[in-house]
């Protein structure tokens, strides 16, 4: 278990693939960080990304990039077996979901309760507006220019 420096600190957890790190990711993590005192980030394993194209950037490199961000207190790779496994170590108070993440907040809260991991689930409502604020947009632009 990750030590908790004080009982009054609010621990936030954000998760994602974080492929081709871009301003939309920074916006999401900044909004998540604003919800509390410590920001933990779980970076999706390559093998677990099944709802969209596989990441371009390998998981260890994506972890390194997210870990280097000043707003992130601790980043780690997710579990390949059980997405709730790292939560047992982190014990977040709040889980921040991105506006486009596929989780249902109510169902996730119920599943967390069943597992003895009570946490509030909060959805960050908006993404940063910019022309290249998504991995898909970046890939399309690269293909347009160089493809």
Q: What is the Cα 114 distance to its own chain's centre?
A: 22
3-state secondary structure of 5: coil
Q: What are 69-126's pLDDT values in tens digits?
A: 999 999 999 999 999 999 999 999 999 999 888 889 999 999 999 999 999 999 998 7
Q: Which residues of 47-70 are buried (b: 16+ CB within 10 A; e: fewer)?
A: eeeeeeeebebebeebbebbeebe
Q: Binning pLDDT at 50, 70 and 90, where does residue 38 land?
A: very high
Tell whether the model's pLDDT for residue 1 goes beyond 80: no
Say whether pLDDT at 52 is over 80. Answer: yes
Q: Are the C-beta atoms of 81 and 51 separated by less than 8 Å?
A: no
Helix, strand, coil share of the chain (percent; to 5): 35, 15, 50
Q: Is 136 annotated as a binding residue?
A: no
The CA distance from 22 to 43, in Å, is 15
List of domains in the chain? 11-146 (3.40.50.620)
SS3 1: coil
Q: What is the pLDDT of residues 2-13, one digit of tens each?
A: 776 666 789 999
Which tokens in the block code for residue 73?
């207190």
Q: Report how far residue 41's alpha carbon sits from residue 25's, in angstroms, rounded to the nearest whole number.
A: 12
22 is in an annotated binding site: yes
Please provide the DSSP assignment of 68-99 as one string. Answer: T-TT-SEEEEPPSS-TTHHHHHH--SEEEE-T
Q: Does 19 count as an annotated binding residue?
A: no
**Percentage, residues of the chain above pLDDT 90:** 79
Please indicate if the annotation marks 100 as binding a ligand: yes
Q: Determine the average pLDDT of the residues in 118-145.
A: 89
């Amino acid at each position: 278990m990750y030590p908790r420096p004080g009982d009054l600190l609010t621990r936030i957890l954000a998760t994602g693939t974080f492929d081709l790190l871009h301003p939309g990711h920074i916006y999401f993590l900044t909004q998540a960080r604003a919800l509390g005192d410590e920001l933990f980030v779980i970076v999706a394993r390559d093998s677990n990304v099944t709802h969209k194209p596989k990441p371009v950037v390998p998981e260890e490199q994506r972890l390194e990039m997210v870990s280097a961000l000043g707003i992130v207190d601790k980043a780690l790779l997710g579990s390949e077996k059980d997405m709730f496994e790292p939560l047992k170590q982190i014990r977040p108070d709040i889980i921040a979901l991105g506006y486009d993440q596929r989780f249902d907040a109510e169902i996730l809260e119920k599943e967390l309760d069943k597992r003895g991991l009570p946490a509030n689930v909060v959805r960050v409502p908006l993404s940063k507006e910019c022309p290249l604020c998504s991995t898909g947009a970046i890939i399309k632009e690269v293909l347009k220019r160089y493809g």
